[in-house]
Amino acid sequence: MSEHFELLLKDPQSSARRGRLKTLHGVIETPIFMPVGTQATVKGLTPAQIKEDVGAQIILGNTYHLNLRPGSELIRDAGGLHKFMGWDGPILTDSGGFQAFSLAKLSKLTEDGVAFQSHLDGSKVFLGPKEVMGIQANLGSDIAMVIDECPPYPCSKDACEKAIERTTRWAKACKQIATDNGFLESGHHVFGIAQGSEYEDMRRRSAEELSELDFPGYAIGGVSVGEPEPEMLKQVRATAPFLPEDKPRYTMGLGTPPQMLKMIAAGVDMFDCVLPSRVARNGAFFTPDGMKNIRNSRFTTDLNPLVEGMDNYTCRNFTRAYLRHLTMAKEMLSCTLLTLHNLHFYLDLMQQVRTHLETGDFSSWSSEWIARYEADGE
C-alpha cells in the first residue's frame, strides 16, 4: 500500500473502491469530483463558496491556460497558485496535453513535445516534459499531470501505438524531472496518463507500461473525445484493471452523473468536468430526476427549491420561480446560484457514493439512482 493513498475498502459486487488520498494541502476522500478552475477560478464562485457551499475537497487548474495568462512565473512570485487564487485546499493541474488535441489546428506534435500558437495572440509556445513540469512546479500543484499525446477518435491502430510510445517516453522524462528537482520528494504528486483510444490491447499496454514507472497516481486519458458513451465506458473498463490497485485512478474530463457512477463501478476514484458550471450558464440544473432547464415556462410560478431538501445555499434560500426570473432577466446572479447548485449536486452525489460503499449497498443503490435519473431527464 502506498503511503499517500489508502484503499479503505472494495465493493464486493463491483470494482468500486473507497479510498483516501493525502496531499500537501489536505486529505481527499474518494471517490471524488473536482470542480474545474481553468483560469485560477471556478467560474462565478468565490473560494469560500466552493469550500463551504459546494463542499469541494480539491479543484483543478490548467497548465496551458495559466502559463499563457497570467504566466507561471508571476504565480510563483505571488506565492503559488493556492495563494494567488485564495484557495487553501488541494489543486490538481492538467498538463496541456489535451489542448494539443482540442487546439490541433494551432499546434504541431513533435518527438519532444507540442509546439503551439497561442489562441490569445498567436505567439509561439512549446510544451514538453521539461516545460510542463517546470510550469507546474511554479504553480505549486499538489497533483501535477504528465504531458501525454491524446489520439483522436477514431484513429488507426498504428497512430495509436505511436501515441502510446510517445506518451510513455514523455512520462518517463516527466518523472525524472520531478525527481531531480525535488518536486516529488517535497510531497507533491505526479500522475501518469494511460492512453490507447478504442483498442483494448493498447489500453492494457499503456496502463502496464506506466504502472512500471511507479507514479503516485494514474489517469485514464483519451476518453470523451467524440466516441459514443458505450465505447467510452468500454475504454475505461479496459484500462482500470491494469492500473495499480494501491494508487488513485482518475478519469479525465467527464462526465454526467450516471457516467460517473458507472465508472466508479469500474474502479475509478477521481473525476473532473466543466459540465456543471457550463450548463448552469445556459439555465440548466441537475436533479435526481435528470437535468432540467430553468427557462422552461412551467417554472414561472414554481415556489419550490431546485431540489427539495438539498442542503446548498441556492436550494435553502431561493425558489425555481426566482431563479427563472433571474435567468430570463439575464442577471449574473442566476449563473452563480445555478453553478453553486450544480457543483454541490455533483459533490453530494460523491458523498452518497462513499456512504453506500461503506454500508455495502453501492451496486443496488447506484443501479436504482441511474434508472431514476435516466428515466425522467429532459
Please name the residue ranges forming H helices in 103-156: 129-139
Question: Is 26's pLDDT higher than 60?
Answer: yes
Query: CB 233: neighbour CB atoms within 10 A?
Result: 18
Residue 259 in marked binding region: no
Residues of the chain with CATH 3.20.20.105: 8-279
Q: What DSSP state is assigned to residue 147?
A: P
Round to whole Å and give the CA distance between 124 and 36: 26
- The question of whether 180 is a catalytic residue gets the answer no
Indicate which residue of 94, 142, 269, 348 is catalytic.
Answer: 94
Quote the pLDDT of residue 216. 98
Question: Is 378's pLDDT higher than 80?
Answer: no
Which of 9-18, 150-159, 238-247, 286-295 is predicted with the least confidence, judged by mean pLDDT? 150-159
> In the predicted model, what is the mean pLDDT of residues 88-105?
80
C-alpha distances in Å from residue 375, one per residue of 159, 258, 324, 368: 39, 11, 24, 11
> In the predicted model, what is the mean pLDDT of residues 231-242?
98
Cell of 337: 446560484
Quote the pLDDT of residue 104. 63
> In the predicted model, what is the mean pLDDT of residues 30-36?
98
Summarize pLDDT for 50-84 with one digit per residue, the tens: 999 999 999 999 998 999 999 999 999 999 999 99
Round to whole Å and give the CA distance between 250 and 326: 36
Residue 97 in marked binding region: yes
- The question of whether 94 is a catalytic residue gets the answer yes
Quote the pLDDT of residue 101. 59
Quote the pLDDT of residue 196. 97
- C-alpha dihedral over 374, 223, 274, 276, to 10 degrees? 10
| Fold that domain 8-279 belongs to in CATH | TIM Barrel (3.20.20)
Question: Is 1's pLDDT higher than 60?
Answer: no
Residue 215 in marked binding region: no
Indicate which residue of 53, 142, 272, 348 is catalytic.
Answer: 272
Residue 360 in marked binding region: no
Residue 195 in marked binding region: yes
CA angle 303, 346, 239 (to 5 degrees): 155
Summarize pLDDT for 339-362 with one digit per residue, the tens: 999 999 999 999 999 999 999 999
Round to whole Å and give the CA distance between 344 and 317: 15
C-alpha distances in Å from residue 323, one per residue of 54, 299, 346: 18, 9, 20
Round to whole Å and give the CA distance between 303 and 321: 6
> In the predicted model, what is the mean pLDDT of residues 211-223?
97
C-alpha distances in Å from residue 32, one per residue of 35, 198, 211: 10, 26, 22
Task: Provide, for the chain, the percentages of residues in helix, strand and coil under a 3-state DSSP scheme, each rounded to the nearest 5.
Answer: 45, 20, 35
Q: Which residues contact 158 (CB under 8 A, 6 or more apart)?
A: none
CA angle 164, 168, 172 (to 5 degrees): 170
| DSSP per-residue codes, 46-103 | -HHHIIIII--S-EEEEHHHHHHTT-HHHHHHTT-HHHHHT--S-EEEE-SHHHHHHT
Task: Specify whether the CB–CB gap between 358 and 352 falls below 8 A.
Answer: no
> In the predicted model, what is the mean pLDDT of residues 144-172?
95
- C-alpha dihedral over 354, 213, 215, 363, to 10 degrees? -10
> In the predicted model, what is the mean pLDDT of residues 274-296?
98
Residue 84 in marked binding region: no
Residue 214 in marked binding region: no
Residue 98 in marked binding region: yes
**How high is the mean pLDDT of the chain?**
95
> In the predicted model, what is the mean pLDDT of residues 244-264?
97
Summarize pLDDT for 100-121 with one digit per residue, the tens: 657 667 778 899 998 888 888 8
